Structure 1
Amino acid sequence: MGDNSVQNNELAWLDSEFVFKIISKHSKIPVKEIKLFSKQPATAKGENYSSVMTLLNVEYVTEQSNGSNESASFIVKTRVQDETFAAIEEDYNIFERELKVYEVFMPEAERLLRSIGDDTVFGPKAIYLEDGIIVQENLKVKGYHICDVKKGLNLEQITSCLEKLAKFHATSMVLNRKNPEIFKHHMSGNVSENPTPLHYLYVYPMQTTIEYCKNNKNLQKYVPKLEDFASKTIPKMINVFSRDKVDRFHVLNHGDMWVNNLMFKNDKDVLFVDYQEGYFGSPGIDLNFFMFTSWPTDIFTNHRNQLLAVYQNVLSDILQRLNYDQRIPTIEDIKKEIVNKGFHGLTTATCILPIMINENAELADVMNFLSDTDEAKENRRKVFNNPGFGDRLIVFFDFFKEIGIL
């Protein structure tokens, strides 16, 4: 996690010759000439952590354009040039995971849906794919936008996301029965048994959350359980990313379902972006992460069962229409998976959420969350000392207590 704003001199390879390759893939008509192009950072500090995102605007001429310029806009996604993230990328192969979603899973999943008259599209169109480089259409020029993570999504937006997520999960279940090889790049867990810099993203923020709770009279009662959990966080998270016998069913998880990876044109029209953390395992992973990063507390409290029923109804409907040959998961199965992977929800709410709703954009730097220097500790305190964080924890901790993990 950190600021990955791109500098043009870091993208010297993204030259006119490479842009010509991209436009040639994009245009249905042979391209005659690239007239001009520009590249600039596509995200602000703190908006994206695991990739460099570059906005590429191009003007070009085709063989049939009679000299008039055509224009196109793309998002170019590349690896972070940083030692810490290079190690994380190597450990988790995040670019290969995302590339295979665009290259293999999406076309197959959408083909299945078309066979039953469903025109669902999961994400942006991938224009050009290469090792370490993903070029996709710029959804913003089509009117899509990202919502405010500090507010969370509204009821209709969450409903739309869960309907699409259910289709994403259901098609993965059907495809896995037909050809498990499709998911071979998504079988490794997202938390490694080997020491990795990513472990510190749980260890140090958890310490800061405990400190925060000690100073909040509404949260102090949870401190002993949090301290106990802190001593076991990594083993617990390794277990979350396992396909163990208590899992009711397995799906391809998006892996990073939160506001900044959901682009809306309106409350019903949503596309998913950023598939780098895709993992084939319990759907409780996606559901926990989505709930504890992106749902306002009133919706979480008052509409949770209704929303989970929406997910289950669509999942069941798609599986039946695609002639899935195994048992169809029930609403109780869905709820069990959320509880079984509840430690993922707890780490999300205590370690990840405060970083996402950070009110101090200047502190959105990777080392504030991955190091234990005095400066990093103080910066974490500033980030976590957020009333919006405390208000959410009060509600979420009641839920974790209810399901027996706090």
Structure 2
Amino acid sequence: MENPCTDMLTVSHIRKSVRELSLPRIAVTCVPTVSAPVQVMSGGPLPELTKDDLEQLLQAKVDSFAVSRLTAPGENYGSTMLKVDVTLLPDRRKVFAVAKMVSEFPHMREFFHYRETVPKEIYVYVHVRPEFQTIQKEYRVPERLFLDVIPKCYGARTTLGGGIDEPVDESSVILLENLRVSGYRLVDRIVGMDLKHLEYAVIHLARFHSTAIVLKLKKPGVFKETVMKATAFVRGGPPPGDEGTPGPLALLKSLSHLPVFQQYKDKIKAAMDMDDELMQMEEPPKAREPFATFLHNDFWTNNMMFSYGGINDEEITGVKIFDFQMTLYGSPITDLLFLLYSSRTLDVTKEDCDRLIKLYHKEFIKWLELFGCDTEPFSYENFLKEIEMEASKCFSHAFIMLRISSVPESNAPDLSIKSDADKIFRDNTGLGKTYFMKVEKLIKEFVDRQWI
């Protein structure tokens, strides 16, 4: 599995600190280390992933293992991703995994509020995923429809030698299944997702959101203890004392040559200002019922992988979603519109997006009906009203992500240099004509729809 490219600004969409979040302890067998303990100091080097670490995480004896870097420059900003192949004893069973660790650069760790976001992501894999599967089994969801979009987690820790209920430090690890070994692969982030991939993603996004609502309606206690804890509010923006990156201003300046930008610059600036106001909120925005649900909150091309089958491997047979650092409880429109307007190929039209929005709602209702839920409050009329109330908030996120997803590997910033982080926003080097055409389409469609 390759990791998503977690953008540096969409962390503003997760709001308040969850330092006080209490995570239940899970059983973790800690294998004593034979080496001296590693003291993890804030701002110091990250510890290596050792045999003892893997035995703790996998709760099994390790015969041998190999670790290598997973992602290329420009593919990941918020964490360190390692490819981990392990042979276990006594049967020499192979485990192919991906270790997600915090960024090796101290300023990037702080920018991404890792002490708050790491526990949220662990909670999704350890608690939300099992509950999503359990309720489907209880309602006997057919195997052909069964929603299994969250990858398996082999083990996790928030601190060296601990479980998942200790305060987070730089030695935190999430050990996930390597999806690439199972045949999953990423769509090219620069090209984007064609209509076939968007349709598949939209259907499964609808089921994902709807499953959380099913839990809310059928098992409110479980919903409170799983989904709501996984979506705990984290205040966005740079950490205290950090002025952050001038990225948004640099981005606006870099696009000033586009006629469409000049024509609608006041509307664009107003939408960006709205996002900045949301980032500054000390409390989470009030989620509207009944549509409020479990949001991925960063649902774009690089945070999902697809599997294929059929003739020439052209049929999409599965999708997995990952990188749950920024989860929220809020409107499903946030994920839906962000997907459509940040991740589509250039040939996906406004009319295609209309059809995809209808497809999402159709699948959303079908999934609720499968569990015997009352669907009247979720009518298409009410859904369109939800779009009208939320769409303007989605522009800034998609606008920024179009830039991040279009930066070629050769022009990726040097993350070891703090001041280099906004390079992707101020430097047009390597950006092809397709990027500027996508920006033009985004602006025009949001204006045409009166969303900005």
TM-score of the superposed pair, with normalisation by structure 2: 0.75
Does residue 403 in structure 1 map to residue 449 in structure 2?
Answer: yes
CA shift in 2, pair 1:194/1:348, >3 Å: closer
Distance 2:242 2:340 in 1: 22
| 1:75 lines up with 2:102 in the alignment | no
The CA RMSD over aligned residues, in Å, is 3.2
Counterpart check, 1:128 vs 2:155 = yes
Q: Please show how residues 151-190 of structure 1 align to structure 2 within 5 Å.
A: 151-177=191-217, 178-179=220-221, 180-189=224-233
Percent identical residues: 20
CA contact (8 A) 1:251 1:282 kept: yes
- Quickly say closer, same or farther: Cα 1:233–1:314, change in 2 above 3 A: closer
**Contact 2:368–2:375 (Cα < 8 Å) also in 1:** no
Q: Which amino acid aligns with 2:426?
A: R
3-state SS, counterpart of residue 76 of structure 1:
strand
- 2:102 and 2:244 map into 1 onto residues whose CA distance is 21
Q: Distance between the aligned counterparts of 2:296 and 2:133, measured in 1?
A: 15
Q: After the TM superposition, which of the residue ranges 254-263 and 300-309 deviates more from structure 2?
A: 300-309
Q: 1:405 to 1:384 in 2, by over 3 A?
A: farther
1:59 is paired with a residue whose SS is: strand
- Distance in 1 between the 2:249 and 2:364 partners? 38
Contact 2:152–2:176 (Cα < 8 Å) also in 1: yes
State the 1:73 CA deviation. 1.3
Corresponding residue for 1:363?
Answer: 412
Give the unaligned 5+ runs of structure 2: 1-5, 9-43, 159-171, 309-315
- 1:37-52 matches, within 5 Å, as 37-52=65-80
Counterpart pick for 1:289 among 315, 331, 338: 338
Q: Map residues 4-403 of structure 1 onto 2, 5 A cutoff.
A: 12-24=47-59, 31=61, 34-62=62-90, 65=91, 69-90=92-113, 93-114=116-137, 115-118=139-142, 119-131=146-158, 132-177=172-217, 178-179=220-221, 180-189=224-233, 192=236, 200=244, 204-237=246-279, 242-244=284-286, 249-266=291-308, 267-325=316-374, 327-366=376-415, 371=419, 376=422, 380-382=426-428, 386-403=432-449
Distance, in Å, in 1 between the alignment partners of 2:66 and 2:109 is 27
Deviations 1:157-190 (A, max 9, x none): 1111111111111111122232223233345446
Residue number in structure 2 paired with 1:6: none
Residues 122, 344 of structure 1: CA spacing in aligned structure 2 closer, same or farther, 3 A cutoff?
Answer: same
Aligned residues: 384
For residues 383 and 185 of structure 1, the distance between their equivalents in structure 2, rounded to whole angstroms, comes to 42
- In structure 1, how many angstroms separate the alpha carbons of the residues matched to 2:408 and 2:147? 35
Report the structure, 1 or 2, having the larger helix content: 1
Distance 1:59 1:236, change over 3 A: closer
Cα distance in structure 2, aligned partners of 1:211 and 1:311: 35
Q: Displacement of 1:145 after TM fit? A: 0.7
Q: Secondary structure at the match of 2:388?
A: helix
| Unmatched tracts of structure 1, length 5 or more | 4-8, 26-30
Relative to structure 1, is the Cα distance of residues 198 and 380 closer, same or farther in structure 2, using a 3 angstrom cutoff? farther
Aligned partners of 1:41 and 1:107: how far apart in 2?
A: 29
